[in-house]
Structure 1
Amino acid sequence: MALTPPLASPWHRQRPKAVGAALLAGIEHDAGRSGFALEPSQRAAAERLAAFGASVTGRRRALPTTVTRARTPRSIYLHGPVGRGKTWLMDSFYRGLHARKRRVHFHDFFRSLHRGTHGQQGAGDGTAIQRSVDALLADIDVLFFDEFHVHDVGDGMFMARLLRTAAQRHVPLVVTSNYAPDELLPNPLWHDHFLPTIEAIKDMMDVLVVSGPSDFRRYPVAGSSLDAAPPAFSSGRIICPGSAHQLGRLGLFAPPASQSRVLTPTTQPVVVKNADPDLLWVSFGSLFAGLTSTADYLALADAYKAWVIDDVPSPAHADASMAPAWQRFSNAVDVLYDQDIPLFLVGVGPLDWDAAGTDGVQPVDLARIASRLSLLGRSPADTDNEGPAGS
């Protein structure tokens, strides 16, 4: 990403109060142009972001480098339910902020880590990881980090390294998450190990909740472009029970056993039913019941333009033993949503991620899955008088 040279901007000759007012006005203008007004929690977050931006630009105006470093602005951690505009707020602020800045998504961060450490000498002792973190923080005044979450103890170690290095480099962060800091790495087997990092987050960041009443992905304001759905991802379908007739209307035909093959996207082999550049067809169990990770889904997303996942179990009948598989499924949905790749889910059903009280699936992850999968159409069940799919 190209970095904006901050000293060339007239913003750095303005007083911080004027900079903050202009940043807040820019966010409000973006909201109006998108067809909505900021609700109270969004406005509170926007005001704090504007004040943060004024501190960043004011920091650049300070003369001695030692003074500049001593006045590192407090980082910002925005969290709340899915679809409330956290990423929208961050992106609007990002566009308006005149500073050296970099924006990364959780999955892109770990993809760069994987690429940066794969096969490198020193990867095992953490030096390659540190080099990747150093590259991420190089030559910037602010790091923007979208969809921050930690489910794996290894991910937690990476995040701890990132936060520690950012603090040492005096680089503040703007973070969005569906999780409050205390809810990160919720697995009781590992949560206590992450407590020092959680305390560091709360110590170095102002934690704000963005929790308006509406999920804008599901119930957008009329004319609003807030959290606009990725068009290709939204062209996918949820198909129950997955009859040949239903699939055929969508141009999908169950592959014969002879087309099965084994892929190794990173380190874990995955048995798939079909794989060509236009389509990956794989069962839920093959992809999520083993030890695959987000790095595998990112590699597969780079290689295949559309995905069919069949034999999807009903989330209403999940039990605790299914929790790891549902977590991997959630991560894959995130990747496909972010990469804007069509997703077709096939199962006997009911494939209803809004079912309350589903055991074995973490509530916040279930909400994120439900919000994103609500963008997919549902193919009608076979009837004598049915019309085309999606009608």
Structure 2
Amino acid sequence: MSETLPALYERRVAEGTLDADPAQRETLPEFERIREELAKPRKGGLFRKAPPPPKGLYLWGGVGRGKSMLMDLFVETLEVPARRVHFHAFMQEIQSGVHAERQKGTEDPIRPVARKVSDAVRVLAFDEMQITDIADAMIVGRLFEQLVAAGCVVVTTSNRVPDDLYKDGLNRQLFLPFIDHIKDTMVVKELAAARDYRQDRLAGTDTYFTPNGPEAREAIEAVWQRLSDGREEPLELRVQGRTLALPRFSNGVARARFYDLCGRMLGPADYLKLAETVRVLILEDVPQLSRQNFNEAKRFVTLIDALYEARTRLIMSAAAAPEYLYVEGVGAFEFDRTASRLREMQSEGWGS
């Protein structure tokens, strides 16, 4: 028998790798309930249907409260096939699968896609469920119904209560049955931890490194390891029919180079999608800006505006301090506002 989740949590606290938190401890029984149920043998048979899966868990709360860490521990204790994946990455796969089924002329393209998932795992553990895409909104309800009907347990984290999912979205009335489905098939629980552990990890850490070079790269790598715990995956975001690729992503933290985001033909919609999806952006190798790279500079200003308005945490390496990044050429005067925002975004507690 595998270690129980409360036992694993307390062992990590005793080892000093976790700080004990009352609100986190309060959520452990919900995870453990699911683990215990899944550890029991399934008693279905030729003429007897297997019992329905235990209710899943929808764990919501503020950024950095430990939701992803608890999910990691939960998956570690499971003895059944499970998949841990960021919600956006999962829905990207589902959309691709549904598109392929439509190309084949499948009458109900969601069904075979859901079956492929449910045949492979008994637990789907999602990070950061949020619905911002009309295509996701139209698919996710039927997809989850079929997954649960096939015996899958869904456990997810989110920064918002179910009733706020897809808020003000197009045709939201068609999405409302999915919110009811969440409440019927999952226990909804708030993680009301007082501390922001992600901010704690950055406390006392520089978030702006200059000049570009080996020292800045080494410092950025150290921050990335601290925030990602060494785990990463690519993430693709759909924006108005295009794909915005983030090469390195982990637990709400994205890492990209300047030319990944500002050297391509991206616009405000791309940066807004990025800002609402990630909680921390690590942006590397921002060069000196001038009339020679005016288009890239304009995109950089738009990116910083989107991150600022969304209060996304920014960690950055650049050729110069904010005030000296763009000192000559058209737009240099207007860049003063961007420099000011970059300074503000370095302040203690930004993004909390």
1:135 equivalent in structure 2: 116
Residue pair 2:98, 2:110 contacting (<8 A) in 1 also: yes
Give distance in 2, aligned partners of 1:250 and 1:23: 43
* Structure-2 residue corresponding to 1:306: 257
Match of 1:162 in 2: 143
Cα deviation, 1:53-76, whole Å, max 9, x if unaligned, reads: 111112x26575887732521111
- Equivalent position to 1:87, from 60, 63, 68: 68
Match of 1:381 among 315, 322, 330: 322
**Correspondent of 2:272 among 324, 327, 342:** 327
Amino acid paired to 2:11: H
Whether the aligned pair in 2 keeps the contact of 1:182 and 1:198 (CA below 8 Å) is yes
Letter in 2 for 1:291: Q
Contact 1:117–1:123 at 8 Å: present in 2 too? Answer: no
Post-superposition CA distance 1:193-240 (Å, at most 9, x none)? 211110110111101111212222222399xxxxxxxxxxx99969xx
Structure 2 residue aligned with 1:176: 157
Report how far residue 132 of structure 1 moved: 2.5
State the Cα distance separating 1:354 from its structure 2 match. Answer: 8.7
User: Residue by residue, what CA displacement relative to the aligned partner does 1:17-55 show, whole Å, maximum 9, x if unpaired?
Assistant: xx7xx2211122234445433322211111211122111
Matches within 5 A, 1:1-391: 10-11=1-2, 22-33=4-15, 35-58=17-40, 60=41, 62=43, 69-122=50-103, 127-187=108-168, 189-220=170-201, 249-250=211-212, 291-293=240-242, 296-298=243-245, 301=247, 306-308=257-259, 309-310=261-262, 327-330=272-275, 333=278, 342=284, 344=286, 347=300, 351=304, 366-367=310-311, 369-370=312-313, 373=314, 375-376=315-316, 380-382=321-323
Whole-angstrom distance in 2 between the partners of 1:79 and 1:306: 31
Distance 1:65 1:351 in 2: 60
Q: Using a 3 Å threshold, how does the CA distance of structure 1 residues 292 and 153 change in structure 2: closer, same or farther?
A: closer
Q: What is the identity, as a one-letter code, of the residue corresponding to 1:187?
A: D
Tell me: CA distance 1:236–1:115, structure 2 relative to 1, closer, same or farther (3 Å). farther
In structure 2, the residue matched to 1:316 is none
User: Could you tell me whether the CA contact under 8 Å between 1:27 and 1:93 is conserved in 2?
Assistant: no
The verdict on how the C-alpha distance between 1:305 and 1:84 changes in structure 2, with shifts beyond 3 A counting, is closer
Amino acid at match of 2:322: A
Q: Secondary structure at the match of 1:211?
A: coil
| DSSP-derived class of the 2:83 partner | strand
Q: Which amino acid aligns with 2:321?
A: P
Secondary structure in 2 matching 1:175: strand
Give, in whole Å, the separation in 2 of the partners of 1:79 and 1:310.
Answer: 33
Question: Is the Cα contact below 8 Å between 2:212 and 2:285 reproduced in 1?
Answer: no
Deviates more, 1:45-54 or 1:28-37: 28-37
1:25 corresponds to which letter in structure 2?
A
SS in 2 for 1:219: helix
Q: What RMSD, in angstroms, separates the aligned Cα atoms of the two structures?
A: 4.2
Greater per-residue strand proportion: 2
Q: Which runs of 5+ in 2 are unaligned?
A: 214-236, 249-254, 288-296, 325-345, 347-352
Identity %: 25
**Structure 1 pair 144/344, CA: closer, same or farther in 2 (3 Å)?**
farther
* Shift, 1:99, TM fit: 1.5
Q: 5+ residue gaps in structure 1?
A: 1-9, 12-18, 223-233, 239-245, 252-287, 312-321, 359-365, 384-389
Preserved CA contact (<8 Å) 2:37 2:54: yes
Aligned partners of 2:39, 2:114: CA distance in 1, in Å?
Answer: 24
Change (3 A) 1:173 1:34: farther
Q: TM-score when scaled to structure 1?
A: 0.59
Give, in whole Å, the separation in 1 of the partners of 2:46 and 2:191.
35
Taking the aligned partners of 2:147 and 2:82, their CA distance within structure 1 comes to 13
Q: Secondary structure in 2 aligned to 1:220? A: helix
Q: Aligned equivalents of 1:63 and 1:127: distance in 2?
A: 27
The question of whether the paired residues in 1 share the 8 Å contact of 2:212 and 2:317 is answered with no
Aligned residues: 280
Counterpart of 2:247 in structure 1: which amino acid?
A
Contact 1:235-1:376 at 8 Å conserved across structures? no
Q: 1:349 to 1:139 in 2, by over 3 A?
A: closer
CA distance in 2 between partners of 1:115 and 1:154 (Å): 11
For the residues of structure 1 that align with 2:12 and 2:277, how far apart are their CA atoms?
Answer: 31
